[in-house]
Amino acid sequence: MTNRFTDHEITDKELADLESLAKTCRADILKMTTLAASGHPGGSMSSIDMLLLLYKFANINPDNCRSLDRDRIIVSHGHTSPSVYSALGRNGFFDIDEAISQFRLAGSIFEGHIERSVPGVEWSTGNLGQGLSAGCGMAISGRLTGNDPHIYVLMGDGEQQKGQISEARRFAVKHKLNNITAFVDYNKLQISGNIEDIMPQNIKDEYTADGWMVFEVDGHNHKQLFDTIKKSKEVDRPVMILAKTIMGKGVSFMENIAGYHGKPLSEEQLEDALAELGIENNLEHYKKMRKEFRFNAKQHKIPKYEISVNTGQPKAYTVETKMDNR
């Protein structure tokens, strides 16, 4: 299986293309959320650079998005769906115009939290804090079946407060899951404010203490992200990349403001934001598409896999066996 993070050196042209595409995607995010008058633009704009890099270089594309040996990209903070839809749409998994115009529209597959009915989405989200567990399960599955995918798990920093993540961290180390790389979108803000005010924690030290290798990067620097992922492939244990980001990145009046976690821009604010990004304001075009949408239940068909795994024989205890409480 080709691994473009280890077998490739990122070029200046690719970096320039990613930089340009990131602006386009940030505009997509703002158009979606303003059009729907709901959604989560802030974290979507801080996560988009990581998503674009992964969907460009990981072993997944529109032609292999259900093959058994594909890499898996798990987005745990599923409310950042606008960034996922934009990254996937701009990489050819579906028509980006449909994603923008149908975002959070009843009958559309482009829901507020990502679902597996969307091409390229691996895991349906809801409650935060569960994505790392899902990633560990996929990493174990890949090892048992010999398909050898690499698992990338993207998470928010606020959800690191969840206890289930602590359990998943230890599970990954116990089972030596060096085929999993986690990313934490470290913008230091969550829905209620600064993460240090809500529930202080040292995310880096907690992963390190549990046995993970931790790298710190600028989460908006595509070269740093690429080189760090490339370096992580040489590590024989689970890797977490702490990506320092800015909520609302790219639009000056949105940056580092917790309120934009889940607040879309007004149409007037959108005009200003798109001007700053240098992107055309074609919201009227998407309004027309949204009005003309008709429910057709078009969903990505998820295949069922027949997999035989020998789990061994369970230990049986007869009534004569004397044991401690169990």
Per residue in 114-126, pLDDT (tens digit) is 999 999 999 999 8
Strand partners, 154: 75, 183
Q: What domains can be seen in the chain, in order of their start residue?
A: 12-291 (3.40.50.970)
Q: Residue 235 pLDDT more than 90?
A: yes
pTM, two decimals, is 0.91
Q: Residue 108 pLDDT more than 60?
A: yes
194: nearest Cα among 261, 129, 127:
261
Average pLDDT on 72-88 reads 98
What is the reported pLDDT for 297?
53
Average pLDDT on 132-140 reads 97
pLDDT tens string 177-189: 999 999 999 999 9
pLDDT tens string 294-310: 876 556 666 676 767 77
Between CA 95 and CA 62 the distance in angstroms is 12
Average pLDDT on 18-27 reads 98
Average pLDDT on 171-197 reads 96
Phi, psi of 249 (to 5 degrees): -50, 135
CA dihedral (223, 228, 231, 232) positive or negative: negative
For residue 138, CA distances in Å to 4, 92, 200, 230, 322 come to 20, 24, 30, 21, 38
Between CA 34 and CA 90 the distance in angstroms is 19
Helix (H) or strand (E) holding 153: strand 151-156
